[in-house]
Each structure stands twice: as C-alpha cells, then as structure tokens.
C-alpha cells in the first residue's frame, strides 16, 4: 500500500481529492492522509514518509513550492503533485521537480490519469532498467538512476547515482532503446535524463548533482518542449 499526503487548507478540496483517489483507484492500493498546513505534514514526516505528496500552492503557513523543497531535503525520490486554482502557477517551481501540476477545476480525470502513471512507474521500478554491457559481463541500471550518458570512443559512459559505468554500445544504439519522453540529446555526444535536470539557462543544463552540460545548437527548442511536457504530463 502506498501512502499519499494531501496538503490543502480547504477541507472541502482535501476531502474531494481523497474521495477521488479512494473511489477511482481503490482503497487497497492507496492510504490517504489529509493535512491543512505544511507544519502538520512536516511534523508527521518526523515519524513516517509518504510515497506521493499532493500539495496546494497556497497554504496558510507558507506555500507548496517551499514545502516541496523541504520534502526533497528529507526524502529521496518523492512524487510531488501541485494543486492550483490558477494556470499561471503551472510554470513556477520547476526547480523542485514536481511530477505534475493539476488545475483544481475539473481535476478528477487529470488526477486519476496521473496516479495511474505513477502506479505504472512504481510497478515498473524493477523493469525500468537498462542492461549495461561490458567485457564479458552486464549490469542492470535503473533508468531513474541515470543522470546522463556520453560518448567515449566506441563506448557510452553512463553517469549514475552510484558512479560511472562503461557500456559497450554506441550512443546511437543506447538512445534508440531509451524512452524519448524522458531522455534527450543535449549536444552531440551527450544524452540527458530530464528527471535530473534542475535548471536550463544560458545554453546550459544544470543537473541535480551540480554538473553542467552544454546545449548544442538546434537542441534548445526540443529540450524546452520536453521539459514543458514533463511539467504538464508528469511523464518522467
């Protein structure tokens, strides 16, 4: 069972979100808990963690973006969804890497669709892997663990959370096997995992591990489109 935290100062909205989840997704899969303030959630997180956080942008003791920052400091790989009544907020807070923005008006379809996508990811956590091949051996690497991949002679080097791994395949072969909604070519010789991009500015991508990768000519538009798609659909 996966735990979901709902943070919204509007009791009606919080209850409505909870009802949507329980009626559409089944009570056996998710356990939902409601909090009206950021402080209540953070206090609970001293004892327990949640898999999914559904956060209102505007809350009495802060805002959802600041709360998301605190959640990421306390927990690795949380799924964060922002609820907002205004579309203008949908491009704020990219630095905290939300999984999705959901507009409160007519939110049921989008919320259920997003939760189903998360379920697929959670269920495919073992399957969502790449088989890295080296001399006489192979190693399974989870796609979520990959920061970026670059070319080195005839090989491709996977830069992951646990370090670098040499793969005896060309970058072209590797890219053909990766999900295109999640991985993009930043410049010739580099494939980037959008899941780990913190910032894009001045022709550079800043990864969450602090490294920077140059954006090649002709790739900026595609990367921006895919980053926006990530914001809108939570595909990554």
Instruction: Give the start-to-end residue ranges of the domains of the chain.
Output: 2-123, 129-233
Q: What is the pTM of this model?
A: 0.54
pLDDT at position 12, please?
Answer: 93
d(CA 65, CA 98): 9
8 A C-beta contact, residue 67 and residue 55: yes
- Segments of the chain with pLDDT less than 50: 124-127, 234-236
- The answer as to CATH 2.40.50.1020 being correct for domain 129-233 is yes
pLDDT at position 87, please?
Answer: 63
The architecture of the domain spanning 2-123 is: 3-Layer(aba) Sandwich (3.40)
pLDDT at position 100, please?
Answer: 83
Burial class (CB in 10 A: 0-12, 13-18, 19+), 67: buried
d(CA 171, CA 154): 8
């Amino acid at each position: 069972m996966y735990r979901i935290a709902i943070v919204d100062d509007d009791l009606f909205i919080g209850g409505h979100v909870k009802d949507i989840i329980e009626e559409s997704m089944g009570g056996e899969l998710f356990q939902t808990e409601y909090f009206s303030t950021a402080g209540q959630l953070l206090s609970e997180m001293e004892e327990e963690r949640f898999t999914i956080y559904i956060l209102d942008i505007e809350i009495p003791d802060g805002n959802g973006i600041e709360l998301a920052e605190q959640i990421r400091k306390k927990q690795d790989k949380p799924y964060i969804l922002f609820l907002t009544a205004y579309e203008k907020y949908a491009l704020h807070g990219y630095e905290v890497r939300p999984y999705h923005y959901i507009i409160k008006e007519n939110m049921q379809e989008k919320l259920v669709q997003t939760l189903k996508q998360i379920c697929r990811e959670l269920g495919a956590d073992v399957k969502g892997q790449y088989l890295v091949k080296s001399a006489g051996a192979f190693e399974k690497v989870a796609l979520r663990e990959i920061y970026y991949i670059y070319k080195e002679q005839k090989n491709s080097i996977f830069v992951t959370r646990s370090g670098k791994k040499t793969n005896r395949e060309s970058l072209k072969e590797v890219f053909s096997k990766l999900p295109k909604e999640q991985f993009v070519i930043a410049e010739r010789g580099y494939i980037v995992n959008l899941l780990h991009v913190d910032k894009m500015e001045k022709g550079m991508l800043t990864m969450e591990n602090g490294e920077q990768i140059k954006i090649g000519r002709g790739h900026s538009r595609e990367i921006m489109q895919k980053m926006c798609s990530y914001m809108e659909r939570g595909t990554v």
